[in-house]
Amino acid sequence: MVDPANEAARKIAILGPQHANPILREVLDSESMPGPYVLVAAGWEEREAETGSLESHLGVSVQNLGAWPACETAFEKDSELKKLMFARYDRMRELTRVYRVRMSAELGALRTLFARTNPAAPDDLVGPELEPAFEALRALDDLHRGRVAALNDETFARAHERDSLREGTERMAEMLAGAGTLLIAGGHVGILYNRMRLFRVLDHLNPGAGIAGWSAGGMVLTDTLLLFHDSPPRGAGDAEVHGPGFGIAHGIVALPHASTRLHLDDQARVAILSRRMAPALVTALDGGQCALLGGAGEWSFRGGARLLRPGGQVEDASDSGREPALSPGGTA
């Protein structure tokens, strides 16, 4: 896995969705993130090779890692590898079911408490009950993230022993060693994380290369993959920890498509999400919005990116100056 200590000076940009209002070219230029551009788009699944719109926007060609077809080829050659990865998927579903049982109860308690007070200024009756309730929910999130991390470590360690992955891994490592900037597209965040980890994409990346990820491609760089939707077609609409990200973009929880997936005008829901993920900065990223992390270890924001605050406010982060990038333990 990636050693976060070795990533401190790397330039990182996390962008909102790029299909409607792309700003990737602008960000790459303004932050001096040069080519050659190497792309991982496994989150697009079988559409991974469809890079025409991206290359048209950038004005240059990109080198596509082809992680999706490389994985499918390995599965065809190696039934044991496929069985291993599908067993991980089944175990993930079991862990998530157990996690949701407790999570719904913890969130239900918090919502009941917030309904009885002002989220921005809790009264002296309800206020003292809030932090213990949040501590319980954070402990549950940490437990689930840790159990998924242990499952990932075991599964991918075994997968990396398979000869069926060697050809794809070596081909990608050669491309990544010459990269000026790694581009990580969005799509299915779980598949993107899995394919990147299977082929050890970040392990082989040129130490001097920058990284620009958008939508799910930005999420995978953070400490925590948080799935969120306040009004999904099915289910309760509770944000939930999917598992750990790669942990090289500290101190931020990235929420792409936030305007369409979250009730940002609901003060209590905003306050709960912000305090639940503390001390990380909960950042709403829509099209045309970006968060940047430089070697100084601070986040800066542009394009109207917003921060969800503990009192339930949603603030334009572009006006917040530079915010320190907190470590998972909560220190800058």
Q: Which residue has the higher pLDDT, 149 or 46?
A: 149
Q: What is the pLDDT of residues 246-282, one digit of tens each?
A: 999 999 999 999 999 999 999 999 999 999 999 999 9
The per-residue pLDDT for 331 is 44
The per-residue pLDDT for 6 is 53
Q: Is residue 330 part of a domain?
A: no
Q: Mean per-residue pLDDT for 100-129?
A: 95
The per-residue pLDDT for 50 is 85
Q: Is residue 158 part of a domain?
A: yes
- The DSSP annotation for 58-118 comes to HTS--EE--HHHHHHHHHHH-HHHHHHHHHHHHHHHHHHHHHHHHHHHHHHHHHHHHTTS-
Q: Which residue has the higher pLDDT, 267 or 232?
A: 267
The per-residue pLDDT for 9 is 72
Find the CATH number of the domain harbouring 231: 3.40.50.880
For the chain, counts of helices (H) and of strands (E): 10, 14
- Neighbour-count burial of 2, counting CB atoms closer than 10 A to its CB (0-12 exposed, 13-18 middle, 19+ buried): middle
Q: Is residue 283 part of a domain?
A: yes
Least confident of 113-122, 173-182, 289-298: 289-298
Q: Is residue 331 part of a domain?
A: no
Which residues constitute the domain of residue 156? Answer: 4-324
CB atoms within 10 A of CB 205: 24
Q: What is the pLDDT of residues 186-202, one digit of tens each?
A: 999 999 999 999 999 99
Total structural domains within the chain: 1
**187, 250, 242: which is closest to 215 by C-alpha?**
187
0.85 exceeded by pTM = yes
Q: Above pLDDT 70, what percent of the chain? A: 92
Q: Is residue 232 part of a domain?
A: yes
Q: Is residue 223 part of a domain?
A: yes
The per-residue pLDDT for 235 is 67
Q: What is the pLDDT of residues 125-143, one digit of tens each?
A: 999 999 999 999 999 999 9
Least confident of 45-54, 147-156, 254-263, 301-310: 45-54
Confidence tier at 330 by pLDDT (50, 70, 90)? very low
Confidence tier at 320 by pLDDT (50, 70, 90)? low
Q: Which residue has the higher pLDDT, 60 or 45?
A: 60
Q: What is the pLDDT of residues 5-55, one digit of tens each?
A: 555 578 999 999 998 889 999 999 999 999 999 999 998 888 888 888 999
> What is the average pLDDT value for the chain, to the nearest integer?
92
Q: Is residue 329 part of a domain?
A: no
Pull the structure tokens for residue 17: 């969705």
The per-residue pLDDT for 319 is 64
267-276 vs 79-114: helix axis angle to the nearest 10?
A: 130
Residues near 122 by beta carbon (within 8 Å), at least 6 away in sequence: 130
Asked whether the beta carbons of 135 and 330 are under 8 A apart, the reply is no
The per-residue pLDDT for 185 is 95
Q: Mean per-residue pLDDT for 277-302?
A: 88
Q: Is residue 332 part of a domain?
A: no
Q: What is the pLDDT of residues 160-188, one digit of tens each?
A: 999 999 999 999 999 999 999 999 999 99
Which amino acid is it at 203? D
Residue 181 to residue 260: CA distance in whole angstroms:
30
SS3 state of residue 332 = coil
